[in-house]
C-alpha cells in the first residue's frame, strides 16, 4: 500500500513563492496525483491534479518527476488567505483506496 | 448549487447507541466516499462506493457500515459507537472513481462518543 509523507508545517510571508513536497511510494502507475486545500471547519477543496511533468492552473503549479515518487505543489506569491492545510492525495496502488498525506499547515504572515 | 450535504454537523452520543450520518450529493456523481479526520493522522478513508449497490472498504472500515441504495445518498452507519470513533467525518463525491476526477467534500460532521 502506498505511503505519503509531507512536512508538518511551513511558514512564509506574503508575496513569496511556496513549494510543498509530498513523497509517495508504491502509487498506482496510471493514476493522478491530486492536491487539496483545507480551511478550519470546512471540507478539503480541490486545487490541482497531474499525472507527470508539470501542470499549471490559475492558482498553483504541480511538478511531478519522472519516477513519480514525489510531487511538489507550488503556490506563487502567497497571501494571508492561503493560510491553510494542504494535502496530497494518491491512489493506494493495487487497490482503489485513496491515501491522503498527513497534511502541511502553511502559515502566511504579513 | 452543486454540493455535498452532510447531516448533522454536530453529534454527541453515548457508547453503543446506533447512529447514522447522512450524505447526499446533487451532481449525479458515481463515486462517493467517507473519511475521518483526526489530529496528526490527517484524512483516512473509511468506505467508498463506485456506484449504486457497490461498496468497498477503505483504510479504516472497522466499526462502520455504509449503503448505496440510490446514486445520490451514501449514509455512514455506526451500529455500536465507541469513544475511539470520536472524530471529524467527511463525505465526498466525484464524477468518476478514485483520482480521475476531483473530489467534492461536505462540510463535515463532528461526532463525540462518550
Give A43-62 pLDDT, tens digit per residue: 999 999 998 889 999 999 99
pLDDT at site A31: 77
Q: What chain B residue is nearest to A47 in terms of C-alpha separation?
A: B102
Q: How confident is the model at residue A96 (pLDDT cuts 50, 70, 90)?
A: low
Closest CA to B8 of B22, B26, B29: B22
Quick: pLDDT tens for A73-88. Answer: 999 999 999 999 999 9
**Residue A94 in this model has a pLDDT that exceeds 60:** no
Element spanning A73, H or E: strand A70-75
pLDDT at site A91: 76
Contact flag B98-A98 (C-beta cutoff 8 Å): yes
Distances (CA, A) of B110 to A5, A45, B3, B55: 26, 18, 19, 23
- Exposed/middle/buried for residue A86 (C-beta within 10 Å: 0-12, 13-18, 19+): buried
Q: Which residues of chain B have pLDDT under 70?
A: 98-99
- For residue B42, list chain A residues with Cβ-Cβ distance below 8 A: 87, 100-103
Contact flag A102-B41 (C-beta cutoff 8 Å): yes
- Residue A82, helix vs strand vs coil: helix
- For residue B105, list chain A residues with Cβ-Cβ distance below 8 A: 42-45
Q: Give the Cα separation of B16 and B110 in Å (integer).
A: 17
Contact flag A46-B104 (C-beta cutoff 8 Å): yes
pLDDT at site B2: 82
Q: Give the Cα separation of B1 and A77 in Å (integer).
A: 31
- For residue B35, list chain A residues with Cβ-Cβ distance below 8 A: 100
Q: Give the Cα separation of A35 and B13 in Å (integer).
A: 34
The residue whose grid cell reads 467517507 is: B34
- For residue A36, list chain B residues with Cβ-Cβ distance below 8 A: 103
Closest CA to A22 of A5, A47, A34: A5
Q: What chain A residue is nearest to B94 in terms of C-alpha separation?
A: A46
Which residues 36-75 of A have a C-beta within 8 angstroms of B? 36, 41-46, 49
Looking at every residue in chain A, the average pLDDT score rounds to 90
Q: Give the Cα separation of A3 and A45 in Å (integer).
A: 21
Cβ-Cβ pairs closer than 8 A, A with B, add up to 68
| A99 vs A56, higher pLDDT | A56
Amino acid at each position: 500500500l502506498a505511503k505519503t509523507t509531507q512536512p508538518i508545517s511551513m511558514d512564509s510571508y506574503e508575496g513569496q513563492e511556496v513549494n510543498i513536497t509530498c513523497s509517495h511510494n508504491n502509487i498506482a502507475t496510471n493514476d493522478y496525483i491530486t492536491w487539496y486545500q483545507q480551511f478550519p471547519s470546512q471540507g478539503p477543496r480541490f486545487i490541482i491534479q497531474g499525472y507527470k511533468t508539470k501542470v499549471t492552473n490559475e492558482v498553483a503549479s504541480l511538478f511531478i518527476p519522472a519516477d513519480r515518487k514525489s510531487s511538489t505543489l507550488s503556490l506563487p506569491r502567497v497571501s494571508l488567505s492561503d493560510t491553510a492545510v494542504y494535502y496530497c492525495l494518491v491512489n493506494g496502488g493495487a487497490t482503489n483506496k485513496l491515501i491522503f498525506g498527513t497534511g502541511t499547515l502553511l502559515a502566511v504572515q504579513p | 448549487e452543486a454540493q455535498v450535504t452532510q447531516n448533522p454537523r454536530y453529534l454527541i452520543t453515548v457508547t453503543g447507541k446506533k447512529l447514522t450520518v447522512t450524505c447526499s450529493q446533487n451532481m449525479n456523481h458515481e463515486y462517493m466516499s467517507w473519511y475521518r479526520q483526526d489530529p496528526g493522522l490527517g484524512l483516512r478513508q473509511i468506505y467508498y462506493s463506485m456506484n449504486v449497490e457497490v461498496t468497498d472498504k477503505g483504510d479504516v472500515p472497522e466499526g462502520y457500515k455504509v449503503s448505496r441504495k440510490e446514486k445520490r445518498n451514501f449514509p455512514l452507519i455506526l451500529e455500536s459507537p465507541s469513544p475511539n470513533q470520536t472524530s471529524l467525518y467527511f463525505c465526498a463525491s466525484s464524477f468518476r472513481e478514485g483520482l480521475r476526477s476531483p473530489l467534492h467534500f461536505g462540510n463535515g460532521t463532528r461526532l463525540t462518543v462518550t
